[in-house]
Structure 1
Amino acid sequence: MKKVALIFGTRPEAIKMAPLYHALKNSKMQPVVIATAQHREMLDQVLNLFEITPDYDLNIMKERQSLPELTSRLISSIDRVFAEVSFDFALVQGDTTSTFAGSLVSFYHKVPVGHVEAGLRTMDIYNPFPEEVNRRLTGTIASYHYAPTEEAMKNLLKEGINRKNVLVTGNTVIDALLWTLEHKKNDVQKFREDINVGKGDYILITMHRRENWGKPMSQVMKAIKDILAKKPELKVVFPVHLNPAVREIVYAELKEHKRVILLEPLDYLPFVSLMEGSKLILTDSGGIQEEAPALGKPTLVLRKTTERPEAVKAGTAKLIGTERTKVVEETLRLLNSPEEYKEMAKAANPFGEGKAAEKIISHLKNVLGV
C-alpha cells in the first residue's frame, strides 16, 4: 500500500489536512501523520475533533525559541521519521515553518511533494512574516501544486511552474467547515449560549501575526474600545492567542471592558460557532478570510497585504490595516450601512464548494497509480 506522509503542526494546517486524512483512509493509500506540534494545545484540540491520531508526534516547541532554532529542530526531527519510513509521497499545507521544513526533508529523501493551498502570494517577503517566504520556498520544492483558486494558479504560472503540475481544487478548509456545521450543529449553537452571546450581537476579533506585535496591535485594541463606545448594543468576543507578545497587549487594553469577552484559544468547533454567530469579523488571520465567506460574514482584515486577494476582489473581505482611526472608520461604516453590509455578506465565496479533498485524492491516485 502506498504511504503518504501528511506533515503539519499548527491548528489551521490540521483543519485543512483533516479532510485529506479521511479521504486517504477511504482510498487504497495509507496516510502517515507527522505532527510537529508547532501549536501544541491548539493542535491537540483539532486532532480530537477530527479523530486523527498522529503516527509521529514530534512535539518540537520550546518557549520563545527563535525561527532559526525552530527550523533546525523541525528539519532534524522530520528527517528521523523519513529515515525510518519509506514514503511514496508527502503532503504539506500552506505556509508554516513546518510546511517548509517538511517539504525540504521530503526533497532530501527524494520523496515527491504535493503542496496543498499552493500559489498564494502577497509579493512582500516580510508580510506575512515568515509565511510568505515559507510558501514560496515550498513552491520551489513541490512536484504538484494544489491551488485553491485560479488566481493562485496564475501566480504559480508566472513563477515558471509547469501548468500540468498545477490543479485548481478549492480550499480544503471549506470541506472541514461544512463537515463541522453538518455533523456538530447542536454543539455549534450551545457554545454561544454558554458564553452568553446571541447571534448577530457581537464582533469577533482575532489577532496574532508577528508583524502586528507591538504598536499595530495596541492601536487595534484602542480602536476596539472606540467602536464599542459608538455601538453600545454590541459586544466583542476575542479568543486570545497564547503567545505572551499578544496576551500582554490585549489584556492590558481590554481586560476591564464590560462588553469584551476575552477567551482562551478555542478549539475548532467553538470557533466555528463564534464565526457563524458573529455580526462581522476583524482579523489578521489568513484562513478566516476563506471560511467567513462560506458563512456570509463580512471580514475586515487587519493587515497591509493579503495572500488571499480573491476575497478582496470578490467583495467578501476588505484590507483595512491597523491604524486606529482607520479601523474605527471602516468598522463603523460597515455597521452603519445595511447596503454595504449585505453586499459583502452575499458575495460568492471564491474558495470553493467543499470538494477540494476529493479532487486532490483523485489526482494523487493517478500520480501513484492506485
Structure 2
Amino acid sequence: MRIGIVFGTRPEIIKVAPVYLKAKEMEKDGIEADFICTGQHREMVDMMKGIFNVEADIDMNIMTANQTLNEVMYKVVRGFEELLKERHYDWIFVQGDTTTAMAAALAAFNRGVKVGHIEAGLRSGNLYDPFPEEMNRRVIDQVSEKMFAPTQRAKETLLKEGFDEKRIIVTGNTVIDAQMYVVNHFDLESVRKKIIDHENYFLVTLHRRENIGQRMRNILRALRKFSEKEGIEIVFPVHKNPKVRDIVYTELDGCKNAHLIEPVDYVELTALLKGARFVATDSGGIQEEAPTFGKFVVVCRKTTERPELIESGFGILAGTEEESVYAALNRAVRFVPGTLKNPFGDGYASERILSSVLR
C-alpha cells in the first residue's frame, strides 16, 4: 500500500512527522510512504526537518513572496496533478485546515485517490473565523474516505453533519505524539534556560490574520497591563509577519517585562511551554499542546474549534477585548490543574491512523 503524507507549514509538519515516522516503522506491514512537502511556509518547514530527523521525499517548493491564497491553491493543485500522474498512491493523507491540505485533498479526490484527513471534525461554527481555515477543513472532510477525528467531540460533530460513522475513527491528536517524541529526545529544561533562566513568565503567541489590527492591539494592551501589575514576565516569540511585528513592537514598546524574541523552533517552543505558568495565544496547536504539561490557556479569539480545551477546564475563551482578556489572565494565574485529564490524546494517534487503513 502506497501513501503520500502531505505537509507545507510548520504546524502541519509537527503533526504529520510522527505519522511518517510510524509509517517507516510499519514498512514490514506493507506500507510504503512518501513525505510530500509543498513548501507553503518555506523557512518554517526547513527549520522543522532537523528536529524529527526526516527529509521530504518530494519537495514541490511552491513558495514565492506575497502570493495570495488562490495562487497557493493553484500551485498545489497543479503540482499534485503532475505528481499523481507519476506515482500511483492508494492514499493521500492531509492534516488540519491549511490551503495546502485543502488543495492537495481536492486534487487527490479528483484523480480518484482516497483521502485521509488527520484532525477531522474541528469546527468554529463561523465560516469566516478563522479564515480561511474553517472553510478548508469543511471541504477536506467532504472529500475524505476516512476522517481521523482527534476527539469524541470531533466525531460527534461529523455525525451531526451527516457523515457515515464507518468513515470516522477517533485516534487522538498526533500533536501529542510529537510532544512525546520531543520530551524523549531533548533536555527541555536546558533548552528553556538558554532563552529565559526562570519560570516566572507566561508564554504568548499571536499571529492569526483575523486578529491583525485593533483586536491584536486590545490583546497586547491587556497582556502589558497584567504583566506590569502582577510582576509576571512575558516571553513572546514574535511572528515574522510584518503587520504582526509592527503592532507588537508598538504596543509593547518600553515594557521591561516583555521578552520579545525571534520565532523559535518546536523544541524551544515546547521547552517554553513546559516552563511557563500559563499561555495566552490565538494558536490552535498550542491549545492542544498546553494540557500535556498541565498549563492553562487564555484563548485570545472570539471562537475556537477546540471546545474540548474549554470543557476540560484547561482554558478560557477570552475574546479580543482588552477587558475580557485581562479578566481571563487573572483567572489563568490562579489555575491549579489537579487531576484534570488531557482531552487531546495519549501519544498513540499515528499508530491508530495507519492501522485503520491496513484493515
Query: Smaller-chain TM-score range?
Result: over 0.9
2:298 maps to 300
In structure 2, the residue corresponding to 1:91 is in which secondary structure? strand
Displacement after TM superposition at 1:81 (Å): 1.6
2:210 maps to 211
> What amino acid is aligned across from residue 164 of structure 1 in structure 2?
K
**How does the TM-score come out when normalised to structure 1?**
0.93
In structure 1, the residue corresponding to 2:3 is in which secondary structure? strand
What do the CA deviations read for 1:7-34 (whole angstroms, capped 9, x no partner)? 1111111111011101111113111111
Query: Could you tell me how far apart the structure 1 residues matched to 2:252 and 2:135 are?
Result: 33
Query: Could you tell me how far apart the structure 2 residues matched to 1:174 and 1:346 are?
Result: 18
Aligned Cα root-mean-square deviation (Å): 1.2
What do the CA deviations read for 1:203-246 (whole angstroms, capped 9, x no partner)? 100011111011111111111211122112x1100111111121
1:168 maps to 170
> What amino acid is aligned across from residue 173 of structure 1 in structure 2?
V
2:121 maps to 119
> What amino acid is aligned across from residue 364 of structure 1 in structure 2?
V
The number of aligned residues is: 356
Query: Could you tell me how far apart the structure 2 residues matched to 1:312 and 1:122 are?
Result: 13
**Counterpart check, 1:182 vs 2:187:** no
In structure 1, the residue corresponding to 2:279 is in which secondary structure? strand
In structure 1, the residue corresponding to 2:94 is in which secondary structure? strand
> What amino acid is aligned across from residue 305 of structure 1 in structure 2?
T
Displacement after TM superposition at 1:346 (Å): 4.3
> What amino acid is aligned across from residue 336 of structure 2 in structure 1?
K
In structure 1, the residue corresponding to 2:148 is in which secondary structure? strand
2:25 maps to 26
Q: Which moved more, 1:25-34 or 1:76-85?
A: 76-85
In structure 1, the residue corresponding to 2:336 is in which secondary structure? helix
Query: Could you tell me how far apart the structure 2 residues matched to 1:333 and 1:294 are?
Result: 19
Structure 1 residues 213 and 313: alpha-carbon distance in aligned structure 2, compared to 1, 3 A threshold:
same
Query: Could you tell me how far apart the structure 1 residues matched to 2:55 and 2:195 are?
Result: 30
Displacement after TM superposition at 1:109 (Å): 1.3
Displacement after TM superposition at 1:255 (Å): 4.2
1:194 maps to 194
Query: Could you tell me how far apart the structure 1 residues matched to 2:318 and 2:264 are?
Result: 25
Listed as ranges, the gaps of 5+ residues in structure 2 are: none
In structure 2, the residue corresponding to 1:59 is in which secondary structure? coil
Displacement after TM superposition at 1:288 (Å): 0.8
Query: Could you tell me how far apart the structure 2 residues matched to 1:20 and 1:195 are?
Result: 30
In structure 2, the residue corresponding to 1:303 is in which secondary structure? coil
> What amino acid is aligned across from residue 352 of structure 2 in structure 1?
K
> What amino acid is aligned across from residue 331 of structure 1 in structure 2?
L
In structure 2, the residue corresponding to 1:5 is in which secondary structure? strand
Query: Could you tell me how far apart the structure 1 residues matched to 2:124 and 2:151 are?
Result: 15
> What amino acid is aligned across from residue 162 of structure 1 in structure 2?
D
1:159 maps to 161
Displacement after TM superposition at 1:191 (Å): 2.2
Runs of 4+ in structure 1 over 6 Å off: none
Query: Could you tell me how far apart the structure 1 residues matched to 2:332 and 2:6 are?
Result: 39
Q: Which moved more, 1:322-331 or 1:131-140?
A: 322-331
> What amino acid is aligned across from residue 72 of structure 1 in structure 2?
Y
**Counterpart check, 1:4 vs 2:3:** yes
**How does the TM-score come out when normalised to structure 2?**
0.96
> What amino acid is aligned across from residue 355 of structure 1 in structure 2?
Y
Query: Could you tell me how far apart the structure 1 residues matched to 2:253 and 2:179 are?
Result: 30
Matches within 5 A, 1:272-283: 272-283=270-281
In structure 2, the residue corresponding to 1:270 is in which secondary structure? helix
> What amino acid is aligned across from residue 37 of structure 2 in structure 1?
A
**Identity, % of aligned pairs?**
43
Displacement after TM superposition at 1:258 (Å): 2.0
